[in-house]
Structure 1
Amino acid sequence: MALIIPPGWREVAVTGAAQREIDTLAVLAEALPDDYAVYHGVHWTRVQQGVSVFGDIDFIIVAPDGRILIIEQKSGFLAESAQGLVKQVQGKARNVATELTEAVQTLILRFAKGGGTLAVEYLLYCPDYHLKDPASAGLDPARIVDASRRQQFAAIVREILPLGLPDAKQHEAVERFLRNILELIPDASAMIGSAGEMVTRLSGGLATWARQLEFSPFRLRVVGTAGSGKTQLALAEVHAAIERGERPLYVCYNRPLADHVRQLVPPAGRVTTFHTLCDSLMRENGKVPDYSDPGIWQRIEHALQFDPLPPDWQFDVLVVDEGQDFSDAWRDAVLRLLKPDGRAIWLEDPLQNLYGRAPAGLEGWVTLHADANYRSPRQVVELLRGLAAASGTITAIDAASPFLGADIEIFSYPDGDTAQMLEQTKHAITRCLQAGFTRPDIALISYHGRERSALLGLDRIGPHTLKSFTGQYDWFGSPLMREGELLVESVYRFKGQSAPAVIFTEIDFDALDERVFRKLFVGLTRAKLKLVLVVSESARRSLAAD
């Protein structure tokens, strides 16, 4: 079975043309030997306009000797014209042969910039359309597989790209080249506790934009909405610094986010929360923090601001994630740790400011705005736009996900009725399971923190055991979690993460204002595919008034 990059494709819930591509992946995975790799979802696009720049390639197959075959799949109806084979995309006629030829040339030229030569074959796959005149398509008819030859597709692929003698050096160069183009970076938004590591790529998006900028000193502030790729950018910066032999420091506010990012970063990269960083400096300077002291938090923050820094506490790259939760004093404390000629990136989303803190001043920094949400289904973003208007919140969110998403389901319970809230939450879990999601795919998110939540302290809900934070840490500083099948977290702790299916429960408020909208924004944007809301009657009336 061929290696599919990125993995996790069998678990993706898609429809339409995307489902046709998943079907093709299944055929390629089964038909090709183990030493072949199939890269999928290769798109070079301008995110703002969504218009193709160099063409789009659906699959790139790499043989053991480094030769590649690119496959462009055109599902659905095509038009045969005097100019060649044409596909209508968003009302525009696109010449298939021209796109495919440009894509081949683009790959060859990009690879040549590194001093190498790339052997590229191509294939056009039209599984739903019978070509009347293959010779008029503008391509070699032997390199076109239409509906009449669909059953021979796998055999034709093997014929075009036969198994030759392995060439480890060329194969490694091609693999490195493709991974660089694809920007394959671990996605820190994957649900904590998930057994598999989710991998994603931003299609010409935030990670690419930010890393192409040049200025000195490098001080970049990214104001990006949820799902725009801020944490992917952070990981790209950390990995790039390590590859250069430099020392990167990643600092965020939220402990669960730091714990998960730490799993995705090599040991050479330091990942920490702000307060853990404060604690570490005190201990390195011979002071043991006394957490029974009511003023301990101010003391450890003061230490990071003013205490002497050990020699190895200077970093080449500083990434601050969740910058909206940092004060001016915190800003100054972490910037002390950056070398004078170091590289700093500050990532923030004002709509995820749940603590009402004033934004940190970053005068003189270059600012990049990223308003496209690639993660949340378009239905979720449309709902948020309406809620923003109703709450008087000024915001610009672009629905950039390829998924419309399942209908958002809302279950309500009488105000103050905890038993009914739990009953409706159980109902929501059942609905997600019926929709085909497994328990590891589902996250229960409470609108309240630990002090007010009736859900976060439970070991189970109905037949489902719950995995939740106990509020305590072990001797090594790791959070102690209750064992269970379903993850349950507060909206505060689940910032920066996501899950395929999210049940946002215990939503209880009287009036929709900007503070409430921010909590709703954080909770709703955690869902990748399915969203269920469990709300009080008062909250439902406010939502219905939108």
Structure 2
Amino acid sequence: MAVLIPDVPKDCPNGERLVYEKLGRELPADWVVLHSLGLPRHETKIWGEADIVVLSSQGVYSLEVKGGTVSCSDGVWLFAGPGFKSYTKREDPWTQSKSALMAVRKSLCDANSAFKEVVFGFGVVMPFTRFDVAGTEFLPEVLLDKRSYREGMDQYIERLHRFWEADYASREGKTRRGLTPHQIRQARQILRPDLETALSIGGYLTGVESKIIQLTNEQIRVSRRLTANPRSVVRGAAGTGKSVLAMDRAKHLAGSGRRVLFLCFNRLLASHVRRSVAQEGISGLDVWHAHGLYREIIRRGGKEAELAALDESHPEFFARRFPEVAADALLSNGGEPWDVLIIDETQDLLTTSHFDVFDLLVVGGLNHGTWHLFLDPLQNIYGSDAEHAVETRLATAYPVLDELEDNCRNTRQVAAQASIISGIDLAMNNAPDGLECENVFYGSRPDALQKIQDLVEKLLSSDVRLCDLVILSTRQRSNSLIAGLERLAGRPVCDLGNEEEYADGAVAFSTMHAFKGLERMVVVAIDMQDIGASQWAMLHYAGLSRARCLLHAFVPNGSTHRYRRQATAFGERARIRSK
């Protein structure tokens, strides 16, 4: 993984951020990638800026990123979203990238003449756009557009290196070289020198997070097997990266021109994935949460009266009766099935009635279609009998079975704390070290509210961003510890489940149940008085595992002994595993 400076880009379009993060993931560890580099020595502007600069053993490259649609009329270029307001320029992207490169080259060569022997080049990246217009101003050799964006960034830099090395050889009659390791460090200090600063909590967590958001070798192997097989079942505990793999598979198959249905149980997760798909400009990928899709199918099939006649409080409504009506609607109305079915959180849909619906949603059905299921067997709410019936149903389709064991979401401290409180062990393999996760014990409700205020203020003043923080409760907000509390640390408190209420700049609140499938860098867990109670264990396991880097649990003083008992039991389980 290359060194990214800064670790997290700020105030930039999503397309630019995605390219920057992809460079970080796919370039060698001793290379340096700079984002939004200010250029006071720009040749045509008082102050210029390079979107991205790569310092590498293959040379120095300035990249201009256009993360939306690109068009040109009468010499005026129009660049449009998603993720930013449309704007126009007289300069084409190649000229912008070239002029930024010249300013970078001047800064380096003025500081040290040895940089004059280095390969300098520029490139243009359009991740969401196919650009195949011919023109004397355009260099297709240095363009990375939608057609080839999935190729590794290391391959793209190698392509730039070959082109610019040949260009220099033809113009100068000699070969230029890349940067030495020493020159990479020197160039980095010239262009963006280090400052002596104190390390904030937010800065530390960002560094820790960079270690856990990449695919592990285990996930890469599983991903390759998914590519090679039309049907698979991937099992893994919380934090092992099932959702990451599910989305990666869905995007890849949609990118190959197939109609893909991404289905999950959680409405918030579906909304999150849907926004991500829209921002990336991916076509052919439909995202639904299961109950929302069922209601739409029933509406189209004219079965709304049958659904309305059912009692939603009946124990079998969601497990059997609701999907049965949806299946009837599909049979009566038909409807075009999808080419591929990808289901995340399958454990929440693990009944034969749900699988009757799935069989109708994909071309070829479950026996002959293309589908991939991702599930956490520890969160199976329907029990072993239902799981056995589904496994028997799927056996005739001969799916590939895979297990994920590496934790690529949580730090070791988060995984341990969530395991202690819930009594259900998260994966610990390859989880990186992070900050200690502290319980906050309190007496009265006013004492708890003051401590929550103090904690949130501390986190925000230590560079933890609001978008990286969430308060999770085992209860609805109206029944939670913060019921009636409108503001925290001077910010409004908004419920993620209420899309009309939620706004940027708010402290996010959600129930643990509604937050399944999502994650945040920092989780503040409240209403934890039921630690150790078996009926709450699964909810605690699902909710607390949403924290990537830091977990603070608010526990009443009366439950202190329960936590100690849970910690002792966790230690004993760990001792047995180590034998």
TM-score band, normalised by shorter chain: 0.5 to 0.7
Amino acid paired to 1:284? R
Q: C-alpha distance in 2, partners of 1:182/1:228?
A: 25
Counterpart amino acid of residue 202 in structure 1: L
Match among 376, 382, 402 for residue 416 of structure 2: 382
Q: Secondary structure at the match of 2:524?
A: strand
Alignment of 1:474-485 (within 5 A): 479-483=499-503, 485=506
Distance 2:548 2:391 in 1: 32
- Could you tell me whether the CA contact under 8 Å between 1:511 and 1:542 is conserved in 2? yes
The letter of the residue matching 1:301 is: P
Work out whether residues 261 and 342 of structure 2, in 8 Å CA contact, stay in contact via their aligned partners in 1: yes
**Pairing 1:338–2:362 present:** yes
Is the CA contact (8 Å cut-off) linking 2:263 and 2:290 kept in structure 1?
yes
**1:507 corresponds to which residue?**
528
Alignment check: 8 A CA contact 1:324 1:357 kept: no
Secondary structure of the corresponding residue to residue 391 of structure 2: coil
1:426 corresponds to which letter in structure 2? Answer: Q
Structure 2 unaligned residues grouped into runs of 5+ = 12-16, 18-24, 43-47, 65-107, 125-137, 155-209, 568-579
How much does 1:528 deviate? 2.3
The secondary structure found in structure 1 opposite 2:510 is strand
Q: Which moved more, 1:536-545 or 1:288-297?
A: 288-297
Whether the aligned pair in 2 keeps the contact of 1:318 and 1:343 (CA below 8 Å) is: yes
Residue 8 (structure 1) aligns with: 8
Could you tell me whether the CA contact under 8 Å between 2:254 and 2:283 is conserved in 1?
no
Query: Which piece of structure 1 moves more, 345-354 or 497-506?
Result: 345-354
Aligned to 1:316, which of 339, 355, 365?
339
Over the aligned positions, Cα root-mean-square deviation in angstroms equals 4.3
* 1:349 corresponds to: 376
Residue by residue over 1:240-293, the C-alpha shift from the partner in whole angstroms, topping out at 9 and shown as x without a partner, is: 222222110011111000011111223521111111111111111234469875
Which residue of structure 2 lines up, in the alignment, with residue 276 of structure 1?
292
What is the CA distance between 1:418 and its match in structure 2?
A: 3.5
Match status 1:494 vs 2:515: yes
**Structure 1 position 444, deviation (Å):** 0.7
- Give the Cα separation in 2 of the matches to 1:61 and 1:362: 54
Structure 1 residue corresponding to 2:560, chosen from 523, 540, 544: 540
* Structure 1 equivalent of residue 570 of structure 2: none
In the alignment, residue 347 of structure 2 is paired with which amino acid?
Answer: Q
Check the 8 A contact 1:10/1:22 in 2, yes or no.
Answer: no
Number of the residue aligned with 2:119? 161
Q: CA deviation at 1:39?
A: 6.8
Aligned-residue offset at 1:454 = 4.0
Between the two proteins, the alignment pairs up a number of residues equal to: 407
1:482 and 1:408 map into 2 onto residues whose CA distance is 28
AA at the equivalent of 1:468? D
Does structure 1 conserve the Cα–Cα contact (< 8 Å) formed by 2:270 and 2:287?
Answer: yes
Q: Which amino acid aligns with 1:511?
A: G
* 1:263 equivalent in structure 2: 275
Determine if the alignment matches structure 1 residue 244 to structure 2 residue 270.
Answer: no
- Map 1:300-449 → 2, pairs under 5 A: 300-309=322-331, 310-328=333-351, 329-340=353-364, 341-353=368-380, 360=387, 361-363=390-392, 364=395, 365-386=399-420, 391=423, 393=424, 395=425, 397-402=427-432, 404-414=433-443, 417-449=444-476
**Counterparts of 2:527 and 2:274 in 1: how far apart (Å)?**
30
Question: How far is the alpha carbon of 1:236 from its aligned partner?
Answer: 1.7
Give the counterpart letter for 2:264 in structure 1. C
Would the alpha carbon gap of residues 489 and 169 (structure 1) be closer, same or farther in structure 2, given more than 3 Å must change? same
Structure 1 residue 222: Cα displacement: 0.9
1:60-89, Cα deviation, whole Å (9 max, x unpaired): 965569xxxxxxxxxxxxxxxxxxxxxxxx
Identity %: 21
Aligned residue identity for 2:410? S
Contact 1:4 1:29 in 2 (8 A): no
2:495 to 454, 461, 468: 468
C-alpha contact (below 8 Å) 1:491/1:522 kept by paired residues: yes
CA contact (8 A) 2:438 2:553 kept: yes
Which AA in structure 1 matches 2:548? Answer: K
Query: Relative to 1, partners in 2 of residues 1:278 and 1:171: Cα closer, same or farther, differing over 3 Å?
Result: same
Q: What is the deviation of 1:233?
A: 1.5
Deviations 1:138-170 (CA, angstroms, capped at 9, x unpaired): xxxxxxxxxxxx999998678523137987433
SS in 2 for 1:339: coil
State the match for 1:229 in structure 2.
241
The one-letter code sitting in structure 2 at the alignment partner of 1:275 is: H
Q: Which residue of structure 1 aligns with residue 224 of structure 2?
A: 211
Please state how far the C-alpha of 1:458 moved relative to its aligned partner.
4.3
Q: Post-superposition shift, 1:503?
A: 0.8
1:179 and 1:517 map into 2 onto residues whose CA distance is 41
Between structures 1 and 2, the one with greater helix share: 2
Question: Counterparts of 2:356 and 2:485 in 1: how far apart (Å)?
Answer: 40
Show the 5 A alignment for 1:88-237. Answer: 159-163=117-121, 168-172=139-143, 179-181=150-152, 201-206=214-219, 209-213=222-226, 218-237=230-249
Higher strand fraction: Structure 1 or Structure 2? 1
Instruction: For residue 35 of structure 1, report the CA deviation from its aligned partner.
Output: 6.4
Please tell me whether the aligned partners of residues 235 and 404 of structure 2 are also in contact (alpha carbons under 8 angstroms). Answer: yes
Counterparts of 2:564 and 2:117, CA distance in 1: 59
Q: Alpha carbons of 1:4 and 1:378: their partners in 2 closer, same or farther (altered >3 Å)?
A: closer
For 2:114 and 2:450, how far apart are their aligned partners in 1? 55
8 Å CA contact 1:64–1:171 kept in 2: the answer is no
Distance 1:434 1:454 in 2: 23
Any gaps of 5 or more consecutive residues in structure 1? Answer: 13-17, 41-56, 66-149, 184-197, 472-478
TM-score normalized by the length of structure 1: 0.63
Deviations 1:336-355 (A, max 9, x none): 21111431111111344578
The alignment partner of 2:471 has SS state of strand
Separation in 2 of the partners of 1:58 and 1:528? Answer: 33
**Contact 1:354–1:492 under 8 Å retained in 2:** no
TM-score of the two chains, using structure 2 as the length reference: 0.59
Please tell me the residue identity of whatever aligns with 2:511.
Answer: S
Relative to 1, partners in 2 of residues 1:463 and 1:6: Cα closer, same or farther, differing over 3 Å? closer
Bigger mean CA deviation after superposition, 447-456 or 533-542? 447-456
Shift of 1:527: 1.8
User: What is the identity, as a one-letter code, of the residue corresponding to 2:121?
Assistant: L
SS of alignment partner, residue 180 of structure 1: coil
Separation in 1, partners of 2:359, 2:327: 9
